Amino acid sequence: MIDSADILLYVALSEEADAVLEMLGYEFEPKEFPDVALTGFFGGLRSPVLGRDFEIAVVPAGKMGNTHSANVVSLLIEKLKPADVVVIGIAGSLSNDMEPGDVFVPDGINEYLANAAGVGEKRWTFTTSGNHFQTSVRLLNRFQFFARLHNAEHQAWIEDTRRLRTALISAATETAMTEAGLNSRGVCKLFAGEDRKLASGPAVGKGKGFVEWITRDVDRKAAAIEMESAGVYDATIVRTPAPRTVAIRGISDYADARKEKIEKTAKGLFRGLSAKNAVALFMRADEAGVFGPDDPSAPAAGASRPSGKVVSRAKSVFVIGGATGETDDVDAETPRLNRASLKLGAALANAGAQLLVCSPFPDSADYYTAMGYADAKAGGVIHFHSPSHPKVEEKRALLRQTLGRPDLMIQDWNYPGPETDDGDSWFQAWLLAQLQALDKADVVVALGGKVSKTANTLLHLAEAKGLPIVPFAFLGGAARRSYERRNWSRLNPGFDPSILHTDEGIDQAVSIANQLLVDRVKRAASGGARPKTIFISVANQDAAMGEALGRALHGQGLEAVFGDNLLEPGQMVPAAIEQGIRRSEVTAVMWSRAYAQSAWCYDELSLALSLEALGMMKIWLFNLDDSPIVHAGARKLAAMSIRSPDSLKNVVTELLR
């Protein structure tokens, strides 16, 4: 059923639609509207910064013109009720500084021939007044400061445009352009706002006289020209509440005599490049949270639904930290730490992660994180890893009474206590408990922590194990050292680590952990081309999730291989399965309690691990029910908790991006 979308992408022509869908990915599903002759393509895009997915509807209109775009968009707003409408495609430049391949987000739209009057006797011309439409001021502001507010995503977009230009525009074409007098800087640039307008009307610009008329007599602020955006903007402004509207236009050529010269020299290649550059900007902006609500604390106006809660992809999160004595206001450190710990605990509980802590004493970050977890009233599990000692057990019992809720499970893990009551013995006992907690963690979150205490050692060990670490650096200490040791741009491209320097970043802890976990899996599965064939190892009881993964892979243009479908007449089952695994580049293990009890699944996993050890296989490990990974060889793998088919689809999209 086609009933809603967060963002509507309006595309005029098939060549633009091809570029949009190629960039967005094959998982976007085509669906015909039952009562109008239109086909939409529906899928999702993840915003790690916001920790949510956006439902996207791409609708190719199949025709140019503002009348057509107004009719189609008006109909689509009624059907889909999007929060945002984005008109995306190509435009011709009216300015010498805006070159083919650049991307333009206009301050507003001038429908230049609207309300025009023809004047003159033998020689006549138009007297124009035009219809003027303003781009959503919030979206425009975010695009204007995209490079500063979201530097990581902006740099990733610049790299996208470099890669696209290298792939689409050959050195021979670049040389031919130069020889034809069409010199360019060769690097894509974003033009956003700054009072530049997009001229929208019924004409295609191909001559110098037309360009001079537009920029001299119609609107000296016009920087590019096209034929659809005025209709799109016009269709949105009559709605209450009105969707936010923005145009993202790739500059394909100049709207003068150079247009035909570019087409002749480059054979239309810049049309494809500019369209893809525009789509790449949209995708990076989505990742950065540009399409979040105007007020970050409230849902977007006109949104078809509230944003879904963030779901943790890590089963267990180990929290360590403490005051450091390194901040400018040392006296405020403990209150800041306690407040951050409460917020962190609530975030983890609401996301469905299990909490690993050690100390039940009120002077620890562990204590307040556990309180925040319980106060969220979201159920869940808290694991206490502590030395076995009467003092500890007494405090744990008191804390259990404080936290006690019928839907909250508190699991005690006891380890040898101190031999004597001196400081060194207690240090060793606590370190042992913390090491055991670290061994059971999928992700580590660090808040401060004295460098002279165990936090520093634990973070070094976590780094050595390759565990994802979320080191909030605003309190200094061991967390800040861990933050500074990490090469963020190389290990987590597209992530802006500056959020870890602020208390407010705690609210995004789960989204950050999710991204770091996916990045870890991607690094482990890197070192080659995009996989073409993926073997799905799944228990019969989890067949529905296996089929969901198969659909997600098919949507990405990949082959999904199931052991049950490989058996040829006269062939033994083990031989057929081994053949299927060996011809695949990736084995997707769908772990569950049922999987752990299946001899067939055990054999599939063992073979995949053997091939991985030889560098012949990559493994994705999805945990469907958060059950313990009992296979010894698989415990070293990064496991991602998957709780729904939609979550599985989103993870696959990120792994293959």
DSSP 8-state secondary structure symbol assigned to residue 527: S
Beta bridge partners of residue 66, listed in sequence order:
none
Q: Which helix (H) or strand (E) holds 223?
A: strand 222-226
- Per-residue pLDDT reduced to its tens digit, 50-59: 888 889 999 9
Predicted confidence band of residue 646 (pLDDT cuts 50, 70, 90):
confident
C-alpha 194/C-alpha 144 separation (Å) is 8
**DSSP H stretches of helix in 7-101:** 14-24, 66-80
- Structural contact between residues 470 and 512, judged by C-beta atoms closer than 8 angstroms: yes
**DSSP H stretches of helix in 254-410:** 258-266, 269-288, 333-350, 365-375, 390-403
316-522 and 531-656, same CATH topology: yes
Given this model, what pLDDT does residue 567 score? 55
- Structural contact between residues 203 and 210, judged by C-beta atoms closer than 8 angstroms: yes
| Domain 531-656 CATH class label | alpha beta
Structure tokens at 358: 């050690």
Q: Which DSSP string do the residues of 457-512 spell out, in sequence order?
A: HHHHHHHHHT--EEEE-TT-HHHHHHHHHS-HHHHSTT--GGGGGSGGGGGGHHHH
Give the whole-number percent of the chain exceeding pLDDT 90: 42
Which pTM does this prediction carry? 0.53
Mean pLDDT of the chain: 86
Predicted confidence band of residue 343 (pLDDT cuts 50, 70, 90):
very high
- Per-residue pLDDT reduced to its tens digit, 126-148: 777 678 888 998 999 999 999 98
Query: What are the residues whose beta carbons fall under 8 Å from the beta carbon of 146, sequence distance 6 or more?
Result: 153, 154, 190, 192, 285, 288, 290
Predicted confidence (pLDDT) at residue 470 exceeds the cutoff of 80: yes
**DSSP H stretches of helix in 417-453:** 423-439
Predicted confidence (pLDDT) at residue 300 exceeds the cutoff of 70: no
Predicted confidence (pLDDT) at residue 84 exceeds the cutoff of 90: yes
Nearest to 553 by CA among 635, 622, 609, 631: 622
- Rg (C-alpha) for the chain, rounded Å, is 28
Given this model, what pLDDT does residue 240 score? 62
CA 428 and chain centroid, separation: 41
- Structural contact between residues 291 and 440, judged by C-beta atoms closer than 8 angstroms: no
Domain 7-288 has CATH 3.40.50.720: no
- Per-residue pLDDT reduced to its tens digit, 86-105: 999 998 888 888 888 899 99
Query: What are the residues whose beta carbons fall under 8 Å from the beta carbon of 565, sequence distance 6 or more?
Result: none
- Structural contact between residues 108 and 132, judged by C-beta atoms closer than 8 angstroms: yes
- Structural contact between residues 137 and 220, judged by C-beta atoms closer than 8 angstroms: no
| Domain 316-522 fold | Rossmann fold (3.40.50)
Given this model, what pLDDT does residue 301 score? 36
Query: Domain boundaries in the chain?
Result: 7-288, 316-522, 531-656
- Structural contact between residues 312 and 351, judged by C-beta atoms closer than 8 angstroms: yes
404 phi, psi to nearest 5 deg: -45, 120
Lowest mean per-residue pLDDT among 8-22, 205-219, 346-360, 472-486: 205-219
Q: Which helix (H) or strand (E) holds 148?
A: helix 146-149
Q: Parallel, antiparallel, or unpaired for β 52-60 and 117-120?
A: unpaired
Amino acid identity for residue 329 in this structure: D
| Mean pLDDT of all residues in 478-504 | 91
C-alpha 41/C-alpha 14 separation (Å) is 13
SS3 of the chain: helix, strand, coil, percent, to 5: 45, 20, 35
CB neighbourhood size of 452 (10 A): 10
